[in-house]
């Protein structure tokens, strides 16, 4: 490389560094694995860095209402972003559905869960984990399924609630609960269950888990935040999202 071309190359690097930015993102716990991959690809492709926080959508809502400096929200539902927009805490016309989630009943035990969820009617488990329905849309969906199946009498005394779907997954993965309602994305890759046994709950049994993203008021002038929302709608991000069991 000649001195002149080296200086030109250095100039390009300095220019990229000048325009690179950071965006703080509140991410629904069920979307942890794909978002980590998307953030890595986003950084490589754009130079921007996404700083990720994972948790329950309901808890993020409360934090944003109280001034938490998140620039982007990736919710586990479509109601929370709409509410934030109505309340003036999100930028109008920036909402879109980035994924539609699937709920699964899962156990680390290889043959405990059947393909219709009939185990919920049995006495083969002592604890059933689910996310708090007041904070997590996946928990609300799980409660809908319990009522749809009519297994409240058998299940409710055995319920163990996590703050988020992430904590629910931990309860089952550590076998502190024999069963749990988790996100399909947490236990599968490319449509294959990675361990244990699972029942992928038919979507007709609960309200659709449409997951919306929105630009929050804090991020309205943040180029990295705007770039991330655009990136989420691109082919590379969509491929990662599909690989983790979500529909688009």
Domain residue ranges in the chain: 3-100+208-243, 103-200
Please calculate the CA angle 81-52-161 and round it to the nearest 5 degrees.
Answer: 70
pLDDT in tens, 140-195: 999 999 999 999 999 999 999 999 999 999 999 999 999 999 999 999 988 899 99
Query: Would you state the CATH architecture of domain 3-100+208-243?
Result: 3-Layer(aba) Sandwich (3.40)
pLDDT at 12 over 80: no
Closest CA to 193 of 100, 112, 75, 131: 112
Q: Are 186 and 35 in contact (CB under 8 A)?
A: no
Specify the pLDDT at position 19: 60
Q: Average of pLDDT values for 215-240?
A: 97
pLDDT at 196 over 90: yes
pTM score of the predicted model = 0.84
CA atoms within 13 A on the CB side of 136: 29
Enumerate the H helices of 47-191 as residue ranges.
57-65, 79-86, 137-149, 152-155, 165-173, 184-187
Domain 103-200 has CATH 3.40.190.10: yes
Distance CA 242, CA 248 (A): 7
Specify the pLDDT at position 4: 54
């Amino acid at each position: 490389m000649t001195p002149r071309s080296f200086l030109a190359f250095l100039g390009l690097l300095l220019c990229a560094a000048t325009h690179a930015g950071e965006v703080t993102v509140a991410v629904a716990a069920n979307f942890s694995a794909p978002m980590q991959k998307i953030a890595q690809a986003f950084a490589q492709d754009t130079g921007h860095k996404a700083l990720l926080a994972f948790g329950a959508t309901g808890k993020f809502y409360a934090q944003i209402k109280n001034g938490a400096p998140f620039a982007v929200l990736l919710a586990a539902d479509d109601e929370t972003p709409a509410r934030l927009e109505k309340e003036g805490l999100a930028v109008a016309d920036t909402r879109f559905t980035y994924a539609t989630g699937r709920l699964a009943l899962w156990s680390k035990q290889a043959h405990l869960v059947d393909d219709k969820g009939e185990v919920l009617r049995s006495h083969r488990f002592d604890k059933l984990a689910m996310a708090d329905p007041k904070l997590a849309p996946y928990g609300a969906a799980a409660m809908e399924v319990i009522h749809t199946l009519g297994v409240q009498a058998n299940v409710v005394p055995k319920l163990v609630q996590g703050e988020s779907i992430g904590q629910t997954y931990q309860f089952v993965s550590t076998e502190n609960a024999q069963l749990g309602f988790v996100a399909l994305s947490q236990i599968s890759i490319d449509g294959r269950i990675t361990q244990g046994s699972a029942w992928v709950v038919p979507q007709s049994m609960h309200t659709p888990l449409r997951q919306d993203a929105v630009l929050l008021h804090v991020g309205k002038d943040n180029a990295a935040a705007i770039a991330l929302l655009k990136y989420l709608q691109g082919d590379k991000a969509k491929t990662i999202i599909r690989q983790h069991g979500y529909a688009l």
